[in-house]
């Protein structure tokens, strides 16, 4: 028996009565109103956002009889906010997947249980609305819907993240009107919408009623071109003029005017005597030369205003404003060019997302996103994996971001069937695929920010993509076509890959057979603590002409703010709502936390992609080389701030003009500093250089830092200090060794070899340790090695076995302790043979040398370790932290460029990075010393001549590993201080490149030294103490 299609399963039914797609614009009656671009001042605008009546059903067939009638009783219906997704308002089920369809794959059929929402509200129209045309516009409805006005069916549409317009002129009446919308969670269109995101349904973008003339512009298509010198431009305007009356017209006049940002006229012209037949559409063409216009690019987003005016019998019918950016996109000699220059895309992928409202994102939040992107040196965004709200493109036009505009198309779940191209290569689905590209191109074609059309994402390849590309080029041949899964480059203008390993990326760059420009549309998977290794990718982009950048995955963590049964608030991810199958916290993979706080990954990315580079010259002469890495602008819009810093002080500072250093140029700067005559011993002097805005811009205030660098000045003066020779008292019993000086006492357990107590001035500081540690709480980028680490090698269960513990006191001021251990996991034959060598002095100073030798590597040893370091347990009251090294935020070996060397102050709580899924965090690299004190500024200093890593928390690594959300992380009644020799890098192996070789911690022999010194700030500061203890000598 043949199963009958329901309307929402019919691939041949794209819509009913939906108007042809067109660009987005408003119409006005005068120039002043037109240049506001505000809906309020247009010919007629009525927003239908707000509270609607709502009935939620398990299936469309359960709809009440005559639900679309105006007089239907809605008293028992709920109220719901529009726009909004119904799941985040308490209806249906929250469900996150990366690639799974949450129902059986049987295209085009969808489940019988098809959650359905019926929306209903009233609206008032005055009489003037009835004299012209009235258009009902839905900007986004997931996934398909029918609409009724005043009990009459208006139409049907699908395609969740695309605009749908209906002419409701024949359905409305003066006064009160009734609108009913029935929305289906699942439709045949759902098979094209399996993007990596929460499955959220409903009317989630604005609903609007627009008044239009019966005779007027249906559509505009604006393109620009340049001459061979990229000086003078050609402005091309295609005006689609529509007559919906029964009268042939011959007296239609078109005026057009181009004005600059200061509202000065650049050109004007007219087309007169235009004829248009009844119920028809005419296309009229305007070509105008524009002499030497200011060009649009991300660095200088110069915009003009084009106003197209329609007159009938010299009476103004409507004025249409459109922002125009003059730019030309082309491919030459293996590169894509903007205005004749090969550009580098430093981009991000962006989903529509809000932690409270799902995919309903207010314009102000989008504006915050765009401004943040600009502030963090990002110049491009990919609208993954669907068209964004129209206002987002307006913001990109205004603030300057390149956009890869992606069609609402992904069929990822078919990959798991073994037939990835199931519908992609099925001609029966051709119309559905073409509809997806048709509507995004038509809507967004006038935005200068859009430089590429992307046909979709992760949907295999087949005939339907070939047809999409043909249709796309027919609609618009001025932009490039992108599709990552066009692996044979049949249709795409750029060779796009995702999560490409660095070695493979370099192979692509050096492969002369590949003659198209390359981008990585997704890389640097920003899941949890990471990504690491971005520097090497950026270096490859800069080195190879063919490589034109990439887009980090992704902009946000997609955590949904919710509460557990006890009222604890947290950000939810896949599985937290009981859904299955799901992809867990794979949606927590952004450069922004859900509250839109920049993550350490975003801070590092800003540094990696900074457009101004400083390099060391002759530092004694104050010479620094500066390179302009911008594509178009010189550096005269910024200032160079410099300072010489030591410890926590500024020795001198100044500001220099950056001059007009052109794109790609480098110059030598003379920094007018004078080196001090008197150099403080054992002190580092740093030259800090910062390139900052010299005046306010639309996206940042004067003084905003764009790029920075630090240089260690060659001013080292080493002064050793004699060891103070007091008297140490030593007592030993069966289990403990007591060593005491005049103001301290340390107790060793001579069975286990560790310090059990350390008292200074009578205050108990150390509870336990230091103890060698090779484990860290797993990060998301460890996910593919974690199984082996834990269940093959048992690295989280390393055991330390004492082989010997001995001590001697050859001098009365010094005790030597040697503790030899065998460290290995259960049931493993490989091991670390380690030795702790303590030198304890009468002033309480402890010099510790740790040596380790790997043995038994032939017995199936791991290839990589999480870390090598020491763990100390301190008393809870020691909460204040100071350090000299990189800061202020966390850093790791492959993600530390953004960390500036300096002296920093914080507390234990603030040393924590609140990743949504708890994991290793808060490490600081390249540290010379760290102090931990109580409120009375008494505590301990750990220091080393070489660099070390450190982190400090009021929870254990086991607590981190056990917790699945921040609120589950319980504070301990002690403090854990990690002093690490090395940490494994971060990489981005949750999806992509693992740790690059320089940052991969392989099992190795090791030796490192550090000092532990108790102190009181009443007597000496941690800064001065560090200089004393790092350079001690015995005589």
Q: What are the pLDDT digits (tens) for 896-924?
A: 999 999 999 999 999 999 999 999 999 99
- How many residues make up the chain in this entry? 1035
Output the pLDDT for position 907.
Answer: 98
Cis peptide before 899 (omega within 30 of 0): no
Please report, in angstroms and rounded to a whole number, the separation of the first and last CA atoms in the chain. 99
Q: Concatenate the DSSP letters of all residues of 421-465 into one string.
A: TTTTT-GGGHHHHHHHHHHHHHHHTT-TTEEEEE--BS----HHH
Q: Residue 868, exposed/middle/buried by CB under 10 A (0-12, 13-18, 19+)?
A: buried
Are 125 and 158 in contact, with CB atoms under 8 Å apart? Answer: no
- Residue ranges in the chain whose pLDDT is less than 70: 1, 1035
Candidate list 242, 522, 604, 871, residue with the active-site label = 522
Alpha-carbon gap, residue 255 to 217, rounded angstroms: 12
For domain 7-212, give the fold.
Jelly Rolls (2.60.120)
Which pLDDT tens digit goes with each residue over 80-115?
A: 999 999 999 999 999 999 999 999 999 999 999 999
Candidate list 242, 394, 458, 610, residue with the active-site label = 458
Is this structure's pTM higher than 0.95?
yes
Which pLDDT tens digit goes with each residue over 490-527?
A: 999 999 999 999 999 999 999 999 999 999 999 999 99
Query: Within 636-706, where are the H helices?
Result: none
Domains 7-212 and 345-607 share a fold: no
Cβ partners under 8 Å of residue 189, min gap 6:
143, 144, 158, 159, 160, 432
Output the pLDDT for position 716.
Answer: 86
Query: Within 343-451, where are the H helices?
Result: 363-375, 390-399, 430-444
Active site includes 522?
A: yes
Residue 724 DSSP one-character state: P
Q: Residue 791, exposed/middle/buried by CB under 10 A (0-12, 13-18, 19+)?
A: exposed
Of the candidates 816, 626, 809, 619, the one whose C-alpha atom is nearest the C-alpha of residue 727 is 809
Token pair in block for residue 875: 């008393």
Pairing of strands 974-983, 938-953: antiparallel
- CATH architecture, range 215-329: Sandwich (2.60)
List C-alpha distances in Å: 963 to 11, 784, 916: 46, 19, 10
User: Where on the phi/psi map is residue 684: left (φ > 0), alpha (ψ -120 to 50), or beta?
Assistant: beta
Pairing of strands 450-454, 480-482: parallel
CATH number listed for the domain at residues 345-607: 3.20.20.80
Phi and psi, residue 558, nearest 5°: -95, 45
Alpha-carbon gap, residue 220 to 27, rounded angstroms: 12
Alpha-carbon gap, residue 345 to 403, rounded angstroms: 10
Instruction: Quote the CATH superfamily of domain 611-712.
Output: Immunoglobulins (2.60.40.10)
Active site includes 458?
A: yes
Choosing among 3.40.190.150, 3.20.20.70, 1.20.1050.140, 2.70.98.10, the CATH entry for 722-1033 is 2.70.98.10
Pairing of strands 814-824, 831-841: antiparallel
Cβ partners under 8 Å of residue 399, min gap 6:
301, 370, 371, 374, 698, 699
Are 571 and 932 in contact, with CB atoms under 8 Å apart? Answer: no
Instruction: Provide the residue ranges of all domains of the chain, joining segments of one domain with +.
Output: 7-212, 215-329, 345-607, 611-712, 722-1033
List C-alpha distances in Å: 803 to 61, 820, 1007: 76, 5, 19
Output the pLDDT for position 1.
Answer: 57
Output the pLDDT for position 720.
Answer: 86
């Amino acid at each position: 028996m043949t199963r009958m299609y329901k309307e929402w399963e019919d691939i041949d039914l794209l819509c009913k009565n939906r108007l042809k797609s067109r660009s987005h614009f408003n119409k006005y009656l005068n120039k002043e109103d037109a240049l506001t671009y505000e809906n309020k001042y247009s010919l007629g605008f009525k927003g239908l956002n707000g509270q609607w009546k709502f009935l939620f059903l398990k299936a469309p067939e359960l709809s009440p009889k005559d639900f679309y009638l105006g007089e239907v009783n809605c008293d028992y219906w709920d109220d719901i906010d529009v726009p909004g997704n119904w799941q985040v308002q308490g209806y249906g089920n929250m469900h996150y997947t990366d690639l799974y369809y949450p129902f059986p794959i049987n295209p085009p059929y969808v489940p019988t249980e098809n959650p359905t929402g019926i929306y209903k509200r009233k609206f008032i129209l005055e009489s003037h609305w009835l004299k012209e045309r009235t258009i009902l516009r839905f900007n986004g409805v997931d996934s398909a819907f029918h609409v009724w006005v005043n009990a009459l069916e208006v139409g049907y549409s699908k395609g969740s993240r695309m605009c749908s317009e209906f002419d409701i002129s024949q359905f409305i009446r003066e006064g009160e009107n009734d609108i009913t919308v029935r929305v289906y969670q699942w439709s045949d269109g759902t098979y094209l919408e399996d993007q990596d995101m929460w499955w959220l349904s409903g009317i989630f973008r604005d609903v609007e009623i627009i008044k239009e003339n019966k005779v007027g512009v249906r559509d505009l298509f604006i393109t620009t071109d340049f001459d061979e010198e990229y000086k003078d431009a050609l402005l091309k305007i295609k005006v689609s003029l529509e007559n919906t009356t029964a009268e042939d017209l011959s007296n239609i006049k078109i005026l057009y005017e181009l004005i600059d940002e200061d509202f000065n006229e650049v050109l004007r012209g007219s087309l007169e005597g235009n004829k248009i037949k009844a119920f028809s559409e005419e296309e009229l063409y305007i070509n105008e030369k524009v002499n030497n216009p200011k060009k649009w690019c991300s660095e200088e987003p110069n915009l003009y205003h084009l106003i197209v005016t329609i007159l009938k019998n010299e009476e103004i019918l409507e004025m249409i404003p459109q922002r125009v950016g003059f730019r030309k996109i082309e491919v030459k000699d293996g590169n894509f060019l903007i205005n004749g220059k090969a550009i580098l895309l430093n981009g991000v992928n962006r989903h529509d997302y809000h932690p409270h409202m799902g995919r309903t994102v207010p314009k102000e939040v989008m504006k915050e996103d765009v401004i943040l992107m600009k502030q963090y040196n990002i110049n491009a965004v990919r609208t993954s994996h669907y068209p964004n709200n129209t206002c987002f493109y307006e913001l990109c036009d205004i603030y300057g971001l390149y956009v890869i505009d992606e069609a609402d198309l992904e069929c990822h779940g078919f990959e798991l069937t073994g037939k990835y191209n199931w519908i992609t290569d099925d001609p029966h689905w051709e119309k559905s695929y073409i509809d997806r590209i048709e509507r995004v191109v038509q809507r967004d074609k006038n935005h200068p920010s859009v430089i590429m059309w992307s046909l979709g994402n992760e949907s295999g390849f087949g005939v339907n993509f070939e047809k999409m590309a043909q249709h796309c080029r027919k609609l618009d041949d001025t932009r490039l076509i992108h599709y990552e899964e066009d692996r044979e480059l049949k249709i795409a203008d750029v060779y796009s890959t995702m999560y490409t390993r660095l070695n493979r990326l370099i192979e692509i760059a050096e492969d002369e057979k590949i003659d198209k420009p390359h981008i990585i549309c997704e890389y640097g998977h920003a899941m949890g603590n990471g990504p690491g290794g971005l520097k090497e990718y950026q270096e490859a982009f800069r080195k190879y002409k063919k490589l034109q950048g990439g887009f980090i995955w992704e902009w946000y963590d997609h955590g949904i703010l919710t509460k557990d049964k006890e009222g604890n608030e947290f950000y939810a991810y896949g599985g937290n709502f009981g859904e299955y199958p799901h992809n867990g916290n794979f949606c927590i993979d952004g450069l922004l936390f859900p509250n839109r706080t920049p993550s350490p990954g975003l801070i590092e990315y800003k540094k990696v992609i900074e457009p101004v580079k400083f390099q060391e010259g002759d530092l004694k002469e104050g010479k620094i080389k500066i390179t302009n890495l911008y594509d178009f602008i010189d550096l005269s819009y910024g200032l160079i701030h410099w300072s010489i810093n030591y410890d926590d002080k500024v020795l001198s500072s100044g500001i220099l003009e950056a001059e007009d250093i052109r794109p790609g140029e480098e110059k030598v700067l003379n920094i007018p500093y004078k080196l001090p005559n008197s150099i403080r011993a054992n002190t580092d002097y740093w030259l800090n250089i910062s390139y900052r805005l010299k005046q306010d811009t639309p996206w940042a205030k004067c003084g905003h830092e764009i790029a920075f660098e630090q240089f260690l000045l060659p001013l080292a003066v080493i002064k050793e200090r004699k060891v103070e020779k007091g008297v140490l008292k030593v007592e030993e019993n069966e289990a403990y060794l007591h060593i005491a000086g005049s103001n301290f006492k340390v107790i060793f357990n001579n069975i286990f070899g560790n310090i059990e107590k350390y008292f200074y001035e009578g205050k108990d500081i150390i509870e336990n340790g230091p103890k060698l540690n090779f484990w860290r709480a797993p990060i998301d980028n460890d996910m593919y090695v974690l199984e082996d680490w834990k269940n093959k090698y048992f690295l989280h269960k390393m055991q330390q076995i004492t082989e010997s513990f001995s001590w001697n006191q050859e001098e009365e001021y010094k005790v030597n302790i040697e503790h030899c251990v065998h460290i290995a996991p259960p049931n493993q034959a490989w091991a670390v043979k380690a030795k702790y060598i303590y030198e304890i002095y009468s002033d309480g100073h402890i010099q510790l040398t740790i040596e380790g030798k790997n043995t038994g590597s032939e017995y199936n040893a791991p290839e990589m370790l999480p870390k090598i370091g020491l763990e100390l347990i301190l008393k809870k009251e020691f909460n204040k932290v100071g350090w000299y090294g990189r800061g202020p935020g966390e850093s790791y070996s492959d993600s530390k460029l953004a960390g500036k060397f300096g002296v920093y102050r914080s507390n234990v709580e603030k040393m924590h990075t609140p990743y949504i899924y708890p994991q290793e965090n808060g490490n600081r690299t390249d540290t010379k010393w760290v102090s931990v004190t109580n409120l009375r500024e008494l505590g301990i200093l750990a220091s080393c001549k070489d660099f070390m890593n450190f982190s400090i928390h009021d929870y254990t690594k086991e607590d981190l590993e056990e917790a699945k959300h921040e609120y589950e992380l319980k504070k301990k009644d002690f403090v854990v201080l990690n002093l690490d020799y090395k940490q494994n890098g971060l990489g981005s192996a949750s999806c992509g490149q693992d740790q690059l070789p320089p940052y991969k911690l392989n099992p190795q022999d090791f030796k490192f030294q550090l000092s532990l010194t108790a102190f009181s700030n009443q007597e000496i500061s941690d800064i001065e103490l560090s200089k004393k203890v790092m350079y001690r000598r015995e005589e």
